[in-house]
Amino acid sequence: MVAPFWYNRAVVNVSRRIHVNAPPETVSRYLRDISNLAEYEQKVVSVREEYPDADSAKAEVIGRFIGFPWKGTFEMRWTPDGGFESRMTEGPLTDMCGGFHLRRVQGGTILTHYEQYGFPGLLRPLYPFLRRWLGRSMDVELGVIKEAVERTHRQETRTAIDSEVRV
């Protein structure tokens, strides 16, 4: 038996990248502090994080998606490049995943963020709107991350210079 068109799920992929004027280690520290999720993630209002082991984290979040309240749980796995991959394990979209990847470049880090959503086929006419909305949301998120990480890097650099001068 073939499932009706409205039942079939389709995938919406969105990806963005930004240059951050800080080394990957600084970017990674910020991203892997899951409490920062509520600061930069536009769809998250609050987060309760835990770190079950050295290679992962778990986040229970409450937020809003296109104005609708939602609640979910994500599992994050650290990646060798300093980023992480996450998957929703409980919540409205259990086939939602995303992550951050870092690449060292001259003068800093290229930070790539991607999100992948499995939406019901019934919402297919809304996919162009969803892609644009998600893309704008990710642009804001990356801007917030860039600002916070570069501020941290400037402070660390200033502290290092001050400690060398006082010797």
Q: What is the pLDDT of residues 58-76, one digit of tens each?
A: 999 999 988 889 999 999 9
Question: Average of pLDDT values for 7-16?
Answer: 83
Band (2; pLDDT cuts 50, 70, 90): low
The answer to whether 145 touches 24, Cβ cutoff 8 Å, is no
pLDDT tens for residues 135-147?
999 999 999 999 9
Supply the pLDDT for residue 126: 87
Record the tokens describing residue 160, joined without a space.
């290092």
Q: What is the pLDDT of residue 16?
A: 98
134-155 in b/e form (b: 16+ CB < 10 A) is beebbeebbeebbebbbeebee
How many other C-beta atoms lie within 10 A of the C-beta of residue 73? 15
Q: What is the pLDDT of residue 167?
A: 53
**Rounded mean pLDDT, 1-28:** 83
pLDDT score for 80: 97
**95 and 86 Cβ atoms separated by less than 8 Å:** no
The reported pLDDT for the residue numbered 8 is: 65
The beta strand positions in the chain, using DSSP E, are 9-20, 44-53, 56-65, 68-78, 84-90, 97-105, 108-120
Residue ranges of domains in the chain: 9-165
Beta-sheet pairing, 97-105 with 84-90: antiparallel
- Is it the case that residue 90 has pLDDT exceeding 90? yes
Termini Cα distance of the chain: 77
CA distance 55 to 62: 24
Pick the CATH number of 9-165 from 1.10.3660.10, 3.30.530.20, 3.40.50.970, 3.30.565.10: 3.30.530.20
